[in-house]
Amino acid sequence: MKAVVLEKCGSSYSVLGQDGTFRHVHRRLNAEVGEEIQIQSWVRTKNTLFQKFGELVLYSLRNSQLLH
């Protein structure tokens, strides 16, 4: 996925992905702010896993409150 570098933060970049999401990715290139870079697709998978886990926790909490 392509992304635009918004900020350099130590050993990572803050980027805006082509899907409109903001991410922090490890710096592997010496890109400048405003430059378009390619980021690995596993970042999207990792974010999706965290989102699904959060949904599961909220669902569990909601159901446990309904039972009491």
Closest by alpha carbon to 28, among 20, 18, 38?
Answer: 38
Which DSSP symbol is given to 32? Answer: P
Domain spans of the chain? 2-67
Closest by alpha carbon to 26, among 39, 13, 17?
Answer: 13
Q: What is the pLDDT of residues 22-63, one digit of tens each?
A: 888 888 788 999 999 988 765 455 566 677 777 788 888 787
| Choice between 11 and 44, residue whose per-residue pLDDT is larger | 11
pLDDT value at residue 4: 93
How many CB atoms are located within 10 Å of the residue 35 CB?
13
C-alpha 51: how far from its chain's center? 10
Amino acid occupying residue 64: S
Retrieve residue 15's tokens.
């980027």
